[in-house]
Amino acid sequence: MSLLISFFQENSIEKKIQDAPDKAYEIGVFIGSMLPFVLLVLLAYLIYRYNKNKNN
């Protein structure tokens, strides 16, 4: 299911970049598309670190 959703989002992102008025907009679209993944990785690391310190 998530693969299907990401497939549709990828097309949308590519279209937004093609229709971008300037480079700043392209950078914003790229950051906006990567931000959820970065936040999830950061959250997973914080949970891992918390649990590791809790066991010690």
Q: Strand ranges (DSSP E) for 1-56?
A: none
pTM score, two decimals? 0.58
pLDDT at 49: 96
Is 16:29 a contact under the CB 8 Å cutoff?
yes
pLDDT at 26: 81
Largest Cα–Cα separation, the chain? 53
Q: Residues 35-55: pLDDT tens digits? A: 888 999 999 999 999 999 998
pLDDT at 5: 55
pLDDT at 50: 96
Q: Residues 2-13: pLDDT tens digits? A: 555 555 555 677
